[in-house]
Amino acid sequence: MSDLKRRNLGIVSGVPAAIGGAGQIGESTSVKDITIERHTMSVLVDNESGVLARVIGLFSGRGYNIESLTVAEVDAAQHLSRITVVTTGTPMIIEQIKNQLQRLVPVHSVTDLTVEGPSLEREMALVKVASTGDKRVEALRIADIFRARVVDATIESFVFEMTGSTEKLNAFIGLMQPLGLSDVSRTGIVAMKRGSGTE
């Protein structure tokens, strides 16, 4: 879970260097097997107690990475939740993750959005900036450029709400750093296939 924590501080971006614990890497392993890829998976599950623990336990127990994980009910009538998980690993590990998720009993479907055609990824962040004077003005100006909304204001602080790609959020948060950035809360990534098709 340390990955999740780092993520929420908005410091981590891109690809971690470490190779996930599972799988022995031998000398003769092809380059393809040691390339670390980043994949976004959408997992439709029965919304029953323990299902999130099952998914998270699978990742921690087998040494897979979680870069981001979000979960919420998406169909109240059918008690279905969608878990969106961003993970990294070698192609073999990514395949394992998919198959391991698929065999959990309450899992309906696993879609690897990274391989199944174009998809959308969005994340939301609340960003608190505490500063006065020029810094405060500059923060507001940049927020405007990024189309972040002010959702709370005091004399010495703003809370901005921003939605967009992870990269855009990272850029914004980076710019706020010298301007009095004091707190960040991020949702993690939600994702969906483009076009009319469903998962």
* Contact positions vs other proteins (CB under 8 A): 23-24, 26-29, 33, 46, 49-50, 53-54, 57, 61, 92, 95-96, 99-100, 102-108
Tell me how far, at minimum, the Cβ of 82 lies from other proteins, in Å. 14
Nearer to other proteins, 25 or 120 (CB): 25
Tell me how far, at minimum, the Cβ of 15 lies from other proteins, in Å. 22
At 1, is the secondary structure helix, strand, or coil?
A: coil
In this structure, is the dihedral angle defined by the CA atoms of residues 94, 122, 166 and 84, taken in order, positive or negative?
negative
Contact in structure between 18 and 175 (CB atoms under 8 Å): no
Which residues touch 33 (CB under 8 Å, ≥6 apart)?
25, 90, 91, 92
Nearer to other proteins, 57 or 117 (CB): 57
Tell me how far, at minimum, the Cβ of 31 lies from other proteins, in Å. 13
Nearer to other proteins, 60 or 132 (CB): 60
CA 149 to chain centre: 21
Nearer to other proteins, 10 or 89 (CB): 89
Helix, strand counts (H, E) of the chain: 6, 9
Q: Cα-Cα-Cα-Cα dihedral of 77, 190, 173, 181, to 10°?
A: 20
Tell me how far, at minimum, the Cβ of 63 lies from other proteins, in Å. 13
Residue-by-residue DSSP string for 23-76 = S---TT--HHHH--EEEEEEEEEE--TTHHHHHHHHHHHTT---SEEEEEEEET
Tell me how far, at minimum, the Cβ of 26 lies from other proteins, in Å. 3
Nearer to other proteins, 19 or 140 (CB): 19
At 197, is the secondary structure helix, strand, or coil?
A: coil
Tell me how far, at minimum, the Cβ of 95 lies from other proteins, in Å. 6
Nearer to other proteins, 45 or 162 (CB): 45
